Amino acid sequence: MKKKIRVLVPTFILEMLTEDCDFFGVTKEKLCNEIFLKFSLKFRSRYQEDMMFEEKEYLQFTLNKANQRYYTDLIKEVPEVNDSEIIREIFSTYSVLAPFLREIYLFREKIIFLHSAIKEYRVLKIDTPNGIVEGRILQIYRCKETSYLKLDINESNYYVGQIRVIS
C-alpha cells in the first residue's frame, strides 16, 4: 500500500515546488520524492519556525516504493519529532536555498558527470528542449537572470535541469 504524505506547510514552499516542477519539467510526486530523499539528512535546520508569518496550505504527495522504507526508518531515528514536523523541515530546508543550489542537490550525479565531461573534453549527446545536440560542453554556470544552472555547448546554452544526457 502506498504511503501518502499530507502536511500543512507555508505557501512559500508550495510556490517553490510549483516553480521547480515547471522549470525542471517533472511532476510534483517525482520532485517531492527526490527532495525527501536528498534533503532528509539536513532537516534539523528549523527554517519552518522562521516562516511562522506565512500562510499555510497542505502539501500532499505519495512516497515512491524506495522512499516508503526510508521514511519508516527515518521516523524511527527521531522519535522525539513527529512525522509532519520532519516533512515540514525537509521541505523548508529545500525551499530556502537559491535555485542553483536546489538544482545541485537534486541533480548532483548529472552535474558531476557533466563537470567530468568538461575536464575530459568529451563529446556528449544531449537531449534538450530544442532537440538533440552533440558536442563538447564549454562551461557550466549560474544564470544571472534565473539563478538556475546553464551550460554552453555548440555556441548555444541550455538549462542543466531541462536536459538529459544520452551518451
CA 75 – CA 64 distance, rounded (Å): 16
Tens-place pLDDT, residues 1-53: 778 989 988 888 999 999 999 999 999 999 999 998 888 866 556 666 666 77
pTM recorded for the entire structure: 0.80
Tens-place pLDDT, residues 99-158: 999 999 999 999 999 999 999 999 999 999 999 999 999 999 999 999 999 999 989 999
Mean pLDDT of 48-75: 84
